[in-house]
Structure 1
Amino acid sequence: MDAPVIIVGAGPVGLVLAAELRLGGVEVLVLDQLEQPSGESRSLGFTARAVELFDQRGLLPRFGDLGISASGHFGGIPLDYSVLADAHFGARSVPQARTEQVLGAWATELGVDIRRGWTVVGLHDDGDSVRVEAETPDGPRLLRCRYLAGCDGGHSFVRGAAGFEFAGTPSTREMFIADVAGCALRPRRIGERVPSGMVMSVPIGGGVDRIVACEHGRPPRRRTRPPEFAELADAWERLTGEDLRGGTAQWISSFGDATRQATEYRRGSVLLAGDAAHTHLPVGGQGLSVGVQDAMNLGWKLAAVVRGTAGPDLLDSYHAERHPVGARLLLNTLAQGVIYLSGAEGEPLREVIADLMELPEVRRHLAAMVSGLDISYDVGPGTHPLLGARIPKRELLGPDGPTTTVAGLRTGRGVLLDLADDPELRRTAAPWADRVDLVTAAPHRLPDGCPLAGTSAVLLRPDGHVAWATPGCGPLPDALARWFGTRRLATAGQ
């Protein structure tokens, strides 16, 4: 084996998955066809759930000023995310290129081997291993791995070569996106409708504007290279009457509204994550954020299977948990596309949705959907309100001073929060000490209604989701065995 795991794609999803595998003690190769990162920044931030995930790994300070905002939109209709407790839309003004720099540096520090200029041209799943054919700067190479992960985007080679079904609908239109310097455009809010389509113009600093142009009746095209700046300038003038030709495009791309999802996220020894598993109209940074969640859900599970501390059936929970999330993502982006890409015929729908969004319960529902804060997994029987959800970040007071409910997750291991200083609980968990860290601490200054009130212990998976809590759940060893494998025997034959 050249590595237990090979990842195709060094974008945010592939980098996070690689880092998670290294935290789990697994060697990994990342192959990317680009010799250097593209520098493009289609995404200008990420949602609240991605902020939480980066925070639990201690990465937020690396991003600098995140520009956290409570305001967002649904299909171009303003949406206030402060209707959710502790919630916000997410991070603003973080170009995707910066996100890739941060994640690339993190992965490299953890020992990830990233090989650029390697184009995967073939793969063969032999059952117990996968052969990967690649064209490299030094000629053809054949690699072998135990598992292969496709994180190579919406046009994923891995997905097609491995025979995944990618169900859904093709693009019906083509749109332009670009960062343009030197034009000083009038700001236009997300989803501003003009007689012939939809436009957006947002200053992003340094005299640069992020622009999006959607012209009704423009059919999709299969391109092998980015559009020419003249195409964008002509479309922008037709739509707005403004002239871009005195400016310069730092980068330009086109995209469509194709909506597709792989019917399975795992096929034998090949797995998919991010846009390789689900593609949709890019709205509100959801694609990057959901892809990062895919990677953090998959990484610790795949690492446990490769190390042999868990059986291959743990990987089945990856599809079971993440496929419904992807389907819900496609649903909300399809709905938003209808709202802010349709012409005058869509105005009655926009008015009805805007009217409904005046209701607090509707705002809460949509905010939780778009941010991903409503995600909860089926982790087993129990009645505790936190079961399956992500642990909220709350203050704890431990023997060594203040800490938080998520501080122990930085190493990518499981965490058992002993909130009642229970020696019997610690003895029960001791056989899993090589996989689960024990934190003894008491809740400190809990807000009103916090579900941690009255909770004596919480078992956290490495992705921050609650696998067990008491009172309200069954025996702790059952949950430990389900998510972290069989117990480690203290002595041979014990």
Structure 2
Amino acid sequence: MSADVVIAGGGPNGLMLACELSLAGVRPVVLERRPERTRENRANGLVGQVVRVLERRGLYERLSGSKEPPHPAPGFVFGALPLNLSVLEDNPLYLLPVPQLRIEEVLEERAVELDVEIRRGHEITGLSQQDDAVTIEIAGPTGPYRMNARYLVGADGGSSLTRKLAGIGFPGVTRDTAVSRTAHVTVLDTMVDPATGGLNVPGYGHIPPFMHHRTERGLFVYAPLPGKPPLVSTMEWPMDPPGDERPPTLDEMRDSVRRVLGSDLPLGEPTGEGPFLRRRLTGGNTRIADRYRERRILLVGDAAHVHSAIGGPGLNLGLQDAVNLGWKLAAEIRGWAPPGLLDSYETERRPASERVVMHTQAQSALITPGNEVTALRELFTELLGDRRNVQHIADMMAGADIRYDMGAGDAHPLIGQWAPDLLLDTSTGPVRLAALTGHARPLLLDLTKEGSLAGELPGWRDRVDVVTARLHDPVTALPHDSAASATALLLRPDCHIAWASASTRPGPDDREGLRAALSRWFGAPLAA
């Protein structure tokens, strides 16, 4: 039994990678040790660039239930400090409050539509590598068996067995000083503020919804998520952490809230249809794999990096890992990948994970108790009064500040960035860029008056699509910090810009630059 790619792990990252590979013409096999989809909800939504990434694949409407494109959030938090995003001209921070259960369901539905084979109740138990394949030992519902694959991708979480079997180290730190408790509950209607949806706690005051609320004794969050009873979360830093991972009782939740707020908050059992979350976590890990690739084995998502969940960056990081890796791995399997393309996965995504580790550690420091931390928060509050600092932090949390090295120097300020949301005037009418990227193929947007650049692509037409159009509103279409307008954009399948031009009439240098970018990212042209 053999496959082009075996993916260990059928969570969001593994399923997203499977979809990307299938779109690129490769049929992966997903192995998931759980016999059925988990009913435990481990996240409550998506934060950052990934919201727009999913729209570029036609998945946003399925998740949001809305035909409207995503809109940036007016506010968010950084280290339990409010971020007023409404002051930004170019707000990059998008939110999609959808439970992870639903995210997994939609990604699995899409994978099945793309003929991805998903084997539940199948778990990797061993592996060995050859020059041209990986041999995988698997325990399945009917007994052990063996598969050969050209590549194996570990998407099996922070405790990844794939990573361990491949001999890839996972350096970092483990801390056991904090205890967090989370539960679905009910609260008294009289305590819910009708204007904000937050809580008015007698003896304490108003607590806005969804915001991390720090006191000198801990952290409190009230999240009235739609369609479910509200979630209440606390975090404390006890002198002697109990190390108990059992779900907290409702009395324990009440006691923790009392310690954090210094006031009683009556909590009742949740009502309605479950499943309901009740979880206790002690400490946490911050680790990054010492390499993302060991010959024919690669890692994505939590298998490659773990960090604090503060600010909700996990799926933003992991799903974009999958989108970055998918087309590159498919190119390698289909035989047109230029040298070094697959290695660029780690080159590009490791700095992104290091940046997430940095800002989640910074946020974790800002929420801890202590007078020194309170003073630091006062300073940060002053700094967040400056719009430039708000922009910097919003870009960082969204992942919108990632700019890949495309080997094109500074030929155009958009090169390396993620393509902005464009409205294009085509021969058939206005079209949003998101409507052109669902097939996950490279795309040349020829926005010149003559539409003459398509003539440079005969040797790449099997890999690269071309759309001739005009910017619907050139004044507002491109980012505000763009130093020049664009008349042509070459997009990789992950929607990062590999080449761009500002020439209204592209000359020999522009055409040479385009051909160089095509060869660098999409391989040698076919012979005429």
Q: TM-score, normalization: structure 1?
A: 0.92
Q: Distance in 2 between matches of 1:253 and 1:270?
A: 33
Q: Distance in 2 between matches of 1:364 and 1:349?
A: 20
The alpha-carbon distance between structure 1 residues 458 and 97, as it changes in their structure 2 partners (threshold 3 A), is: same
- Counterpart for residue 12 of structure 2: 12
- Counterpart for residue 112 of structure 1: 116
In the alignment, structure 1 segments of 5+ residues that lack a partner are none
- Counterpart for residue 290 of structure 1: 317
Q: Any idea what SS the aligned residue of 1:212 has? A: strand
Contact 1:236 1:244 in 2 (8 A): no
- Counterpart for residue 170 of structure 2: 166
- Counterpart for residue 249 of structure 2: 229
The alpha-carbon distance between structure 1 residues 220 and 163, as it changes in their structure 2 partners (threshold 3 A), is: farther
- Counterpart for residue 460 of structure 1: 491
Contact 1:177 1:212 in 2 (8 A): yes
- Counterpart for residue 329 of structure 1: 356
Letter in 2 for 1:475: G
Contact 2:474 2:485 in 1 (8 A): no
The alpha-carbon distance between structure 1 residues 152 and 341, as it changes in their structure 2 partners (threshold 3 A), is: farther
Quote how far apart the aligned CAs of 1:311 are: 4.3
Quote how far apart the aligned CAs of 1:422 are: 4.3
Q: Distance in 2 between matches of 1:406 and 1:460?
A: 12
State yes or no: 1:201 paired with 2:232.
no
Question: Residue deviations 1:434-457, cap 9 Å, x none?
Answer: 110010111111234834964322
Quote how far apart the aligned CAs of 1:406 are: 3.9
Which range moves more in the overlay, 27-36 or 87-96?
A: 87-96
Matches within 5 A, 1:104-143: 104-143=108-147
Quote how far apart the aligned CAs of 1:485 are: 1.0
Matches within 5 A, 1:29-428: 29-63=29-63, 64-65=65-66, 69-184=73-188, 187=199, 188-189=207-208, 190-206=211-227, 208-217=229-238, 227-229=247-249, 232=253, 235-236=256-257, 238-240=259-261, 241-242=264-265, 244=267, 246-247=269-270, 250-255=276-281, 256-311=283-338, 313-382=340-409, 383-422=411-450, 424-428=452-456
Contact 1:131 1:143 in 2 (8 A): yes
Quote how far apart the aligned CAs of 1:120 are: 1.8
Q: Any idea what SS the aligned residue of 2:404 has? A: coil
The alpha-carbon distance between structure 1 residues 91 and 449, as it changes in their structure 2 partners (threshold 3 A), is: closer
Q: Distance in 2 between matches of 1:243 and 1:15?
A: 40
Which range moves more in the overlay, 432-441 or 151-160?
A: 151-160
Q: Distance in 2 between matches of 1:32 and 1:236?
A: 37
Which range moves more in the overlay, 249-258 or 160-169?
A: 249-258
Q: Any idea what SS the aligned residue of 1:30 has? A: strand
Letter in 1 for 2:501: T
Q: Any idea what SS the aligned residue of 2:340 has? A: helix
Q: Any idea what SS the aligned residue of 2:499 has? A: strand
Which range moves more in the overlay, 203-212 or 182-191?
A: 182-191
Question: Residue deviations 1:325-381, cap 9 Å, x none?
Answer: 100000000000000133444111111111111111111110100011111100112
Quote how far apart the aligned CAs of 1:315 are: 0.8
Q: Distance in 2 between matches of 1:430 and 1:67?
A: 38
Which range moves more in the overlay, 253-262 or 374-383?
A: 253-262
Quote how far apart the aligned CAs of 1:201 are: 2.0
The alpha-carbon distance between structure 1 residues 218 and 399, as it changes in their structure 2 partners (threshold 3 A), is: farther
Question: Residue deviations 1:104-145, cap 9 Å, x none?
Answer: 111111111111111222222223211222222111122221
Contact 1:172 1:219 in 2 (8 A): no
In the alignment, structure 2 segments of 5+ residues that lack a partner are 193-198, 200-206, 504-509
The alpha-carbon distance between structure 1 residues 419 and 327, as it changes in their structure 2 partners (threshold 3 A), is: same
Which range moves more in the overlay, 364-373 or 202-211?
A: 202-211
The alpha-carbon distance between structure 1 residues 219 and 33, as it changes in their structure 2 partners (threshold 3 A), is: farther
Q: Distance in 2 between matches of 1:12 and 1:238?
A: 36
Contact 1:69 1:92 in 2 (8 A): no
Letter in 2 for 1:209: P
Q: Distance in 2 between matches of 1:82 and 1:4?
A: 47
Letter in 2 for 1:46: L
Q: Any idea what SS the aligned residue of 1:321 has? A: helix
Contact 2:122 2:140 in 1 (8 A): yes
Letter in 2 for 1:314: L
- Counterpart for residue 517 of structure 2: 479
CA RMSD of aligned residues (A): 2.5
Which range moves more in the overlay, 213-222 or 117-126?
A: 213-222
Q: Any idea what SS the aligned residue of 2:374 has? A: helix
Q: Distance in 2 between matches of 1:126 and 1:175?
A: 44
Letter in 2 for 1:175: V
The alpha-carbon distance between structure 1 residues 177 and 399, as it changes in their structure 2 partners (threshold 3 A), is: farther
Q: Distance in 2 between matches of 1:237 and 1:122?
A: 48
Q: Distance in 2 between matches of 1:219 and 1:145?
A: 48
Quote how far apart the aligned CAs of 1:83 are: 4.1
Q: Any idea what SS the aligned residue of 1:314 has? A: coil
The alpha-carbon distance between structure 1 residues 466 and 206, as it changes in their structure 2 partners (threshold 3 A), is: closer
Question: Residue deviations 1:211-251, cap 9 Å, x none?
Answer: 2221212667877x753536555544544544546457812
State yes or no: 1:469 paired with 2:497.
no
Q: Distance in 2 between matches of 1:153 and 1:342?
A: 30
The alpha-carbon distance between structure 1 residues 196 and 107, as it changes in their structure 2 partners (threshold 3 A), is: same
Q: Distance in 2 between matches of 1:89 and 1:455?
A: 24
The alpha-carbon distance between structure 1 residues 459 and 67, as it changes in their structure 2 partners (threshold 3 A), is: closer
Letter in 2 for 1:463: D
